[in-house]
Amino acid sequence: MKCPIAISVFLAVAAMSGHGHAADPRYPDWPCTQAKVPEISVAAVWAGPPLDDVSGKWKDDAKVSALVAKLAARRTPLEEAQKAITEYLNSAADKTASGKLLFAGLFESLNAQRSQVMNGLERVTRKQREAADKIRTDTLALQALQGETPPNQAKIDELSNQLVWQTRIFEDRRNVIKFVCEVPTTIDQRLFALARTIQQEIE
């Protein structure tokens, strides 16, 4: 007779590993239901003046660099970030030039944040795939132990406990993935909102 844990663990892994089947074959490790967009395009979030003349220059301005770091941090509330943009640009000698520098810095920083988050999600997905394979293998080993006569109860108990622990870690990671899948969209929305604030100030 098979131990209930062997069956329940096997079924749990079968259900939980469903996220590993990527909807887009170009990104086999992408675990989210949201489509993977590797980078935000400037055109998607910026309708202001051309940025060709400020590309890469925002890092040379210490004040802009410090403000970009503050505005890009998700711990900074959006309203506070928008207020900081307004205050900075109202005090700038050249609003348009300062606004363009500020947006260029935000665009680069938030795109980098997105890439870091998405790369992390794909790393965790690969770990999940390996973990699912290990749980399946151990489940089959447990079933084999249970079929022995006489059964080695000490080994059965040890492997059963190991499977419970492995499954718990798998489930915890799955929940983290669900949460983190929302982060790239949150970053997109933040960049769009901050870009709009900058554009309104320099129009």
| Sequence ranges of the domains in the chain | 4-14+58-202
Whether 101 has a pLDDT exceeding 90, the answer reads: yes
Whether 19 has a pLDDT exceeding 80, the answer reads: no
Token pair of 62, please?
Answer: 């210490």
Contact 172, 128 (CB under 8 A): no
Distance CA 103, CA 191 (A): 9
34-81 tens-digit pLDDT: 899 998 899 999 998 888 888 788 999 899 999 999 999 999 999 999
- Pick from 92, 81, 94: nearest CA to 53: 94
Query: Other C-beta atoms within 10 Å of 20: how many?
Result: 15
